Structure 1
Amino acid sequence: MPYRIARLRRRCRPLLDQLALPRPFSIEPLCAHLSAHRRRPLHLHPLPPQAAAAGACGLWVATDTDDHIFYEQRTARSHQEHIVLHEIGHMLFNHHAVTDTAGSPVGLLGDLSPRLVRRILARANYSTRQEQEAEMLATLIRTGETGPVRCPPSDTYGKLHAALGVSTDHEL
């Protein structure tokens, strides 16, 4: 298992190195940075009730001109942020939906025209490579794991800081 996680982290590293994470961390400045970097607007929306009722907690929808991320609104703010980061992970990895248009979740978004949607991804499970990549990237962004590889903290406070995503001086 640790080897698989290490490989997953290595796949995330090039994307992390391209990010300018805001300090202190906040979703809004990160989204503004990504929008400017990708040269296309990035919009955040609460997930429509019908999509949440169908079991989705996050969606990334790409049109010809914009990116839209939908997140579950009936959860804690930290969970909402993680959902957004997970969808950003799909966006940065340039993941594609693996279902055909008949199985597409476009219908969960109400009156959105399927002709406008170039790409749509919805979380279903974490067993696919795409889901694991997006989840790992979201976790690494949220915990601030960019820049130099960090040494694992050895003391209790260092471990607590690492678990909470608080920056420490334990760098190589």
Structure 2
Amino acid sequence: MAHRRGRPIHLYPLPVEGRADGTCGAWIATDTDDHVFFEPGTTRPHQNHIILHEIGHILLGHHRPVTTDDAPVRAALPDLDPRLVRRLLRRSIHTTRQEQEAETFADLVLSRALRPCPRNCRCGGTENLERALGLHACADD
């Protein structure tokens, strides 16, 4: 997906400082890269859901105007100059339309990834996610 978009996507465990307010995931976009953070202290399936939620924000073009409050950026990426941040979304509760859309995106992708491959090929976990996102065709295609 990063290759198709022409922008690297970096995945990181969310630092403890970034989780202080109940946040379990975040997306920080700079001019050149996307940085996705996930809760490290949960199950791998939940981490995948958090990551897909943040990717949903990216693909759906969601954003929140960057404010002068750079504390979340400093907590997540202490070495990153906050002036480089173009978009910042944090995942905690799903009360806004953007949060609900990103949550639905993650649910739909995971639901599709869990379905058996219609061609009975031997797709693994990563291939199933790629297939669900339309990025991977079965070996039999």
Give TM-score, length-normalised by structure 2: 0.75
> Secondary structure of the residue that 1:144 maps to in structure 2?
helix
Are positions 1:166 and 2:115 aligned together? yes
Structure 1 segment 60-75 matched on structure 2, within 5 A: 60-75=27-42
Aligned-pair identity (%): 51
> Secondary structure of the residue that 2:10 maps to in structure 1?
strand
Partner of 1:35: 2
The one-letter amino acid paired with 1:132 is Q
Q: Distance in 1 between matches of 2:79 and 2:15?
A: 11
Q: Could you give the per-residue CA deviations for residues 13-47 of structure 1, whole angstroms, max 9, x where no partner exists?
A: xxxxxxxxxxxxxxxxxxxxx10111011110111
Structure 1 segment 11-160 matched on structure 2, within 5 A: 34-97=1-64, 100-102=67-69, 105-109=72-76, 110-144=78-112
Q: Distance in 2 between matches of 1:142 and 1:129?
A: 20
Q: Distance in 1 between matches of 2:65 and 2:71?
A: 9
Asked if the contact 1:60–1:122 (Cα under 8 Å) also holds between the matched residues in 2, the reply is: yes
Asked if the contact 1:104–1:120 (Cα under 8 Å) also holds between the matched residues in 2, the reply is: no
Q: 1:77 Cα shift?
A: 0.3
> Between Structure 1 and Structure 2, whose CA radius of gyration is higher?
1
Q: 1:54 Cα shift?
A: 2.7
Q: Distance in 2 between matches of 1:125 and 1:98?
A: 18
The one-letter amino acid paired with 2:85 is V
Q: Distance in 2 between matches of 1:52 and 1:37?
A: 31
Aligned length, in residue pairs: 117
> Secondary structure of the residue that 1:143 maps to in structure 2?
helix
Gaps of 5+ in 1: 1-33, 146-164
Q: Distance in 1 between matches of 2:11 and 2:36?
A: 5
Gaps of 5+ in 2: 119-141
